[in-house]
Structure 1
Amino acid sequence: MILTVTLNAALDVTWHVDRLTPRSSHRVDAAHERAGGKGVNVARVLASLGHTPIATGLTGGPTGRLIREGLHAAGIRDEFTDVAGDSRRTLAVVSRDDGDATVFNGRGPRIAEAEWEAFRRHYATLLPEARVVVLSGSVPPGLPGNAYAQLIHAAAKAGAATVLDTSGPALTAALKAGPDVVKPNADEITAATGRHDLRAAAAALRARGARAVVASAGPEGLYALTPEGGWRAKPPERLSGNPTGAGDACVAALAAGLAAGSSWTRMLREAVALSAAAVPCPAAGDVDAGVYERFRREVPVEALPAISDQQIT
């Protein structure tokens, strides 16, 4: 079983406009509202692939109830812990003319220490069922800086592999716990390491504790640095649409591959195909089955040369 953790669950709202122009009015052509947060999106993608994920994390208030209703409607097992504050909302405005998305993320409710401890106890009861734990998204106010590190340590103790998809201080603080896979995008890995070369940045994260790093570069594909070697996987063509769910689809593919014991080349091919299949869909958490089946047969994966110590330091 794959367990997804969303500490800062959200009600995701997506608006589609013809063109996003600053300081002007816009008419929304289509709107979508659904349970979200990165881990919830990962669980939704996994369910579409035939897996039976468990979704856990923190939710509260009227928005939290809508999130949990959305999970039930999607047939995803809900193991969220209630908190007093109201869960956040996010807004993604997708421009049809160029496919770019502008995203507004709420900070989330402040979590009390007792609420965090209650969640940790509940999380521990779920770990014996899990082969892989996905830890995704931002950390709400009030949680300790090493919140993800605590959850990674607990998962490792229970024998579960971990996939971490977060950014900023939450990412850097979690590296010492040794997550099995870290999946930043290009901006996130540059911010964490100060390096623009993705291979060098990935090596820097591995040197700080990550066992494997898969860095996403949007339409340029994935760069992976693992104990077995380094690879680059690139989509065979560029698709237009809504890119906001591509990263979560990529994480879903990595988690599924780890659970199945797949090779890295196969995992990366699946990850590129599944993330590309999310782009034509109007809302994060969905994938286009036709694109996925076509791309997974066509994605090239090339081995990368070894990286020198001088490139890391």
Structure 2
Amino acid sequence: MILTVTLNAALDVTYSVPALVEGASHRVDEVHTRAGGKGVNVARVLHDFGYDVLATGLAGGASGDRLRADLDSAGVCHAFGAVAGDSRRTVTVVSEATGEATVLNEPGPVISGPEWQAFLSHFADLVADADLVVCSGSLPPGLPHGAYGQLCEAATAQHAETFLDAQGTDLLAALAAGPALVKPNRDELLATVGGDDLWAGAARLRELGAHSVVASLGPNGMLALTPDGAWRATPGAALTGNPTGAGDAAVAALAAGHVEGTDWPERLRRAVAWSAAAVRSPYAGHVDPSIAAHLRADVALKETHDSDIDW
């Protein structure tokens, strides 16, 4: 079983407008509301592809109730820990004219010490049945920067491996726990380690404890540094659409490949294809399998070294 963790789960609200103009009043053509947050999106994609997945994290208030109800209606298994504060909302405004998305992220509820301790106990029960734990997204206010490290250590104690999609001090504080994979995007990687050299930044994360690093590069694909080698994977063509769930779809693909034991080239082809297919969806957390299969055939893969890369 794959266990996804979303400590700052959200109720995602997507507005579709003919064109987004700064400072103007807009008539919304369509409103769509669904459970979200990066780990929830990962769970949705894995569920849609038939993998055994359970979503957990923290959820509270009316937004938390709506989040749980939406996952129930989608058939995604979940076991969120309760908190007193209302779960955050994210607002995405999609311009029909350009396909571009503008995202507004609320900070999330303040989590108390007792609430965090209760979740750690809850997590220890859940992880006993997990083969892989995927921790994704920002931490809500009140949690220590070492929160993900605590979860990684708890998973290791139960013989489960961990993936981590985070950035900054939240990521750095967890590396000593030895996550199997970390997946920042390009900007997150450079902001976390400093400098402008992606290869050196990814190598630094491995030196600090990550077994493998996959950096998503938007329309330019992915860079992977692993114990088995390093690869650059690129899509066949750039796609326009809503990119907000593309990284989560990539994490889902990498998680699926990990539990299946597929080789790295296959994992990366699938990750690039699922990520690109997610851009074609108007909502985060959805990948059309037929589109993903079509795009996979066009993914270019090259084993690489730092001197090969032209950024």
Please state which band the TM-score falls in when normalised by the shorter chain.
over 0.9
Name the counterpart of 1:311.
none
Q: Which moved more, 1:92-101 or 1:62-71?
A: 92-101
CA distance in 1, matches of 2:29, 2:77: 33
Following superposition, the deviation at residue 107 of structure 1 comes to 0.7
CA distance in 1, matches of 2:307, 2:239: 31
Name the counterpart of 1:238.
238
Following superposition, the deviation at residue 39 of structure 1 comes to 0.5
| TM-score, reference length from structure 1 | 0.95
CA 1:155–1:307: 2 relative to 1, 3 Å:
farther
Name the counterpart of 2:172.
172
CA 1:117–1:75: 2 relative to 1, 3 Å:
same
- Aligned residues of 1:230 and 1:306 also touching (Cα < 8 A): no
Following superposition, the deviation at residue 44 of structure 1 comes to 0.3
Structure 2 stretches lacking a partner, 5+ long = none
CA distance in 1, matches of 2:74, 2:291: 22
CA distance in 2, matches of 1:195, 1:236: 29
Alignment of 1:31-42 (within 5 A): 31-42=31-42
Tell me the amino acid that sits aligned with residue 71 of structure 1.
L
Tell me the amino acid that sits aligned with residue 58 of structure 2.
L
CA distance in 1, matches of 2:197, 2:100: 23
Tell me the amino acid that sits aligned with residue 64 of structure 1.
G
Name the counterpart of 2:99.
99
Name the counterpart of 2:137.
137
- Aligned residues of 1:199 and 1:307 also touching (Cα < 8 A): no
Name the SS of the counterpart of 2:19 in structure 1.
Answer: coil
Q: Percent identity?
A: 56
Name the SS of the counterpart of 1:77 in structure 2.
Answer: coil
CA distance in 1, matches of 2:89, 2:168: 20
Name the counterpart of 2:9.
9
Name the counterpart of 1:300.
300
| TM-score, reference length from structure 2 | 0.96
Tell me the amino acid that sits aligned with residue 169 of structure 1.
T
- Aligned residues of 2:49 and 2:289 also touching (Cα < 8 A): no
CA distance in 2, matches of 1:284, 1:25: 25
Q: Are 1:21 and 2:21 counterparts?
A: yes
Name the SS of the counterpart of 2:41 in structure 1.
Answer: helix
Name the counterpart of 1:181.
181
- Aligned residues of 1:99 and 1:243 also touching (Cα < 8 A): no
CA distance in 2, matches of 1:133, 1:235: 27
Name the counterpart of 2:58.
58
CA distance in 1, matches of 2:229, 2:92: 36
Name the counterpart of 1:206.
206
CA distance in 2, matches of 1:209, 1:17: 44
CA distance in 2, matches of 1:307, 1:137: 32
Name the SS of the counterpart of 2:244 in structure 1.
Answer: helix
CA distance in 1, matches of 2:120, 2:307: 38
Q: Deviations over 1:179-224 (max 9, x none)?
A: 1111111110110011323222111211222111100111100001
Q: Which moved more, 1:278-287 or 1:99-108?
A: 99-108
Following superposition, the deviation at residue 306 of structure 1 comes to 5.4
Q: Which moved more, 1:91-100 or 1:108-117?
A: 91-100
Structure 1 stretches lacking a partner, 5+ long = 309-313
Name the SS of the counterpart of 1:244 in structure 2.
Answer: coil
Name the SS of the counterpart of 1:34 in structure 2.
Answer: strand
Name the counterpart of 2:229.
229
